[in-house]
Amino acid sequence: MEKLWPDFLPRRRELNLGRLSSPDLWKTRVVARPIWSGTISFGLVSVPVRMYTATSSQELRFHFLDRRDMSPIGYDKVNKETGESVEPENIIRGFEVDKGRFVEVTEEDIDRLDVELTHAIDICDFVSIDEIDPLYFRKGYYLLPQDGAERPYRLLVKALDETGRVAIAKVVIRNKQHLACVRPVADTLVLETMYYADEVRQPEAAPTPQVRAAEVEMAKTLIENLAAKWDPERYHDRYRNELLDLLQKKAEGEPLPEPAEEEGGEVVDLMEALRQSVAATKKRRSGSASRKSSSSRKKKASSPSRKKAAARKAS
């Protein structure tokens, strides 16, 4: 029986390995194409830039298949009134101005708008980034200078970096005006689109039961024991990798692991749980520290012997 291999799964011979565990496998390099070009404007200063997508989703895409022969299922665009299929050349964009009444929207209509509105990153204010709740950020883009704009671009990067402020701006991307934050990252400007205030929902009031001071201190100790420097390379999508591995095994006809049984929720004493967690993290940190000191001692011990060997060779 022929084995069916989903389109989204890389084949093992293409990857040249037996398992899909390394996160580096999923990093792809593609030639970047600008999705937008225009100018950053503040005061009388204009900086021509091109915009590039800064992130890409690594979510797995699944397909609907016909159970009988595992063929992908397609979707037909039909006229909702007649139920008949509509050819691509007869499909246009439109906006519903009233219930059931539409008006066509063409590229010529878009071009009639103010060019500065559609091709400018208009800076409104400069603020401290510490004042912005991360909840407002949506998606990141890189801004790189167009030819001849390198000096004013560099000037804006340096000025933002030295003042410790970010620019709050408005920009039209794909027919929507976004609020945005422009900030320096190393020597590059990054634009992050933001939600407007009326797009951010306010949470319901969270319950506020009393906690003891000892519990707070223990929780703070646990946090400090788990504290580390931010390194994005340390964090990987384990669920995605395991799912890819399972799908690969299934495609090759290998036996699959049995489903894990969920353990019942257990009510534990909060203070005791904190104590055990602190003890476990303390042991882990001390073990890591001892391995580092042992490694440094070995390096120090080996350096004199290297020097002696080098001296004997020289003589």
Please state, in angstroms and rounded to a whole number, the distance separating the CA atoms of residues 276 and 288. Answer: 19
Asked whether residue 163 is assigned to any structural domain, the reply reads yes
Asked if pLDDT for residue 256 goes beyond 80, the answer is yes
pLDDT at 7: 43
pLDDT at 14: 36
Asked whether residue 293 is assigned to any structural domain, the reply reads no
Asked whether residue 5 is assigned to any structural domain, the reply reads no
Total count of residues recorded for the chain: 315
Nearest to 41 by CA among 153, 106, 121: 121
Instruction: Classify strands 188-194 and 176-185 as parallel, antiparallel or unpaired.
Output: antiparallel
CATH number of the domain bearing residue 160:
2.40.290.10
pLDDT at 268: 65
151-182 per-position pLDDT tens digit: 999 999 999 999 999 999 999 987 789 999 99
Stretch among 29-38, 50-59, 239-248, 289-298 having the lowest mean pLDDT: 289-298
Give residue 169's Cα distance to chain centre. Answer: 22
Asked whether residue 190 is assigned to any structural domain, the reply reads yes
Stretch among 34-48, 177-191, 221-235, 251-265 having the lowest mean pLDDT: 251-265
Asked whether residue 236 is assigned to any structural domain, the reply reads no
pLDDT at 29: 46
Burial of 23 (0-12, 13-18, 19+ CB in 10 A): middle
Query: How many beta carbons lie within 10 A of that of residue 12, not counting itself?
Result: 14
What is the extent of the structural domain holding 39? Answer: 31-73+94-199
Distances, alpha carbon 267 to alpha carbons 90, 270, 273, 274, in Å: 62, 9, 10, 14
68-84 per-position pLDDT tens digit: 999 999 888 999 999 99
Please state, in angstroms and rounded to a whole number, the distance separating the CA atoms of residues 307 and 315. Answer: 12
Asked whether residue 226 is assigned to any structural domain, the reply reads no
What lies within 8 Å, CB to CB, of 141 at 6+ separation is 35, 36, 51, 52, 53, 54, 190, 191, 192, 193
pLDDT at 50: 94
Asked whether residue 23 is assigned to any structural domain, the reply reads no
Instruction: Classify strands 137-145 and 45-53 as parallel, antiparallel or unpaired.
Output: antiparallel
Asked whether residue 110 is assigned to any structural domain, the reply reads yes
pLDDT at 270: 78
Please tell me which residue, 284 or 309, carries the higher pLDDT value: 284
* Rounded (10°) angle between helices 213-225 and 270-314: 30
Distances, alpha carbon 19 to alpha carbons 112, 248, 262, in Å: 54, 9, 26
- Overall domain count for the chain: 1
